[in-house]
Structure 1
Amino acid sequence: MSHPAPLTPEEQLADAKKLLSLPHVVVICGSTRFMAEMTEADLRETTAGKIVVKPACDMKSPHELWSDPVEAEALKARLDDLHRAKIRLADEVLVVGDYIGDSTRAEISYARSLGKPVRFTHPEVDPAA
């Protein structure tokens, strides 16, 4: 008698989201130079009934939390890990802005490696296009 394969963690998460009747989850990615555009995308996605997660720290703007260069480097690594967790949680990725830097390119690659759909506010910057 064969037994069904156990569910992967990703399948378990998808099932839990369905059981909880959670709305579609979108993670916003992009350069922090587009924070205003990310806020606008957040507004549009939220009013369309989606749960939105996005970067909250613009480390290019001065702030006491990242004023020390050593602490800032450690914080950047933690924030990168946190953003990858947001990508794993999300049902899809929305890339905001007309520029793709190395970090965003890595996020897109990571999302696609997980089979996440990726949308762009500026499709012409899609590295796969």
Structure 2
Amino acid sequence: MEGSLEVVILPVRDVDESKRFYAERLGFTVDLDLGEGDGRFVQLTAPGSGCSVQLKPGLETGGRPALLFVVADVDAARAELAEAGVAVSPVQHFEGADRVDGRGGRWNSFVFFDDPDGYPWTLQERPAE
């Protein structure tokens, strides 16, 4: 499966404190700061890096890091993984916070699976430009 690891999702105790740490102490650029409460996430990228971190509330509820892998064709990537014996979700998209079966709009088509240790992976389709 060809693609690139572009986002590591980190559950954090305090989004603002973590944002300050990554931005002010490590020099990461704040790419996005969206949502509120449990739906909030902040995305930051280190200068020169092709992979970003997203900070999401959740550490206090046992959250685990998640990995986002971007592919050109989510249907083909799903088929390749399924053929290799990986238990993958159907292609899904988000409507608000809900995952719904089927393709969505730009940047809104995903496949989900876990590795053998339970780490969640998300495949996201990059729109053809």
| Higher Cα radius of gyration | 1
TM-score range for the pair, normalised by the shorter chain length: under 0.3
Give the structure with the larger strand fraction.
2
Compute the TM-score of the two structures, normalised by the length of structure 1. 0.27
TM-score, length of structure 2 as denominator length: 0.27
Bigger RCO (CA 8 Å, 6+ sep): 1
Higher helix fraction (1 or 2)? 1
